[in-house]
Amino acid sequence: MSMDSNGSDRKTGKFAGWWNRRGPLTRAAIIVLGVIIWSAAAYSYGYDKGLDGAIEYEKDSFQVNVVNYTIQKGQDGLYEIQGVIQNNYDKPILLNPSLEVKGFDSSGEMVLYVPAFITVSGEIRPGEKVKFRGEGPILDGHDPDDIIIGIKTECSGYGWA
């Protein structure tokens, strides 16, 4: 079989000519490697996207997206936390009106724990935003500016609507 200078046999094209010169074990190895790489990429992408729409955690609690929040010192020395949460799941959720708000500093240490309440009770539709409010202390040596990672909310006592 004659080949030209670019590796083509002039009948099947460059890739097909290259593929035909491979042995059966090499072809199988290339296919298996391609499937493994594709599966790893698909799993990685799906895992990343799956975290946003996560199902339940072990303790019957789940994450709710915090859209924004403010922390202000109240007159009684406690800090007032107000914010907005959003249902990012693809189904409506049912919340009891209380949630746990946790604040973390830059090292990951929890410096704030506040029981908070949402402004509505009952069903929160996909994409719907709901306000929350609570007050509590911040650990000594920290102020609201130390909380740079954000607030994590976990809502217990939910159900899928």
What are the tens digits of pLDDT across the range 124-149? Answer: 888 889 898 888 888 877 777 777 54
Q: What is the pLDDT of residue 29?
A: 93
Q: How far apart are CA 116 and CA 144, in angstroms?
A: 17
88 and 148 co-located in one domain: yes
The identity of residue 68, as a single letter, is N
Q: What is the pLDDT of residue 137?
A: 87
Which residue bears the tokens 């009891």? Answer: 96
129 and 110 co-located in one domain: yes
82 and 18 co-located in one domain: no
39 and 109 co-located in one domain: no
Bridge-based pairing of strands 110-118 and 98-104 is antiparallel
Tell me: pLDDT of 33 over 90: yes
Residue 142 lies in a domain: yes
DSSP secondary structure, 68-102, as one string: EEEEEE-TTSPEEEEEEEE--SSS-EEE-SEEEEE
What are the tens digits of pLDDT across the range 46-62? Answer: 655 544 444 443 445 56
Residue 109 lies in a domain: yes
85 and 110 co-located in one domain: yes
86 and 141 co-located in one domain: yes
What are the tens digits of pLDDT across the range 105-126? Answer: 878 788 888 888 887 767 788 8
Domain count, the chain: 2
Q: Which of 95, 80, 93, 99 is nearest to 152 (CA)?
A: 99
Q: Which of 117, 121, 99, 112 is nearest to 141 (CA)?
A: 112
The pair of three-digit structure tokens given for residue 88, joined into one six-digit string: 């990012």
Q: What is the pLDDT of residue 34?
A: 92
89 and 131 co-located in one domain: yes
The pLDDT-based confidence of 35 (bands split at 50, 70, 90) is very high
Check which CATH number belongs to the domain holding 141 and give it. 2.60.40
Residues 6+ apart with CB under 8 A from 35: none
Q: What's the rounded mean pLDDT across residues 5-34?
A: 80
Q: How far apart are CA 132 and CA 93, in angstroms?
A: 16
Q: Which of 154, 152, 77 is nearest to 109 (CA)?
A: 152
Residue 147 DSSP one-character state:
-
Residue 3 lies in a domain: no
Q: What's the rounded mean pLDDT across residues 27-48?
A: 82
Q: What is the pLDDT of residue 79?
A: 87
Residue 78 DSSP one-character state:
P
The pLDDT-based confidence of 30 (bands split at 50, 70, 90) is very high
Residue 2 lies in a domain: no
Show the domain range for 135: 61-160
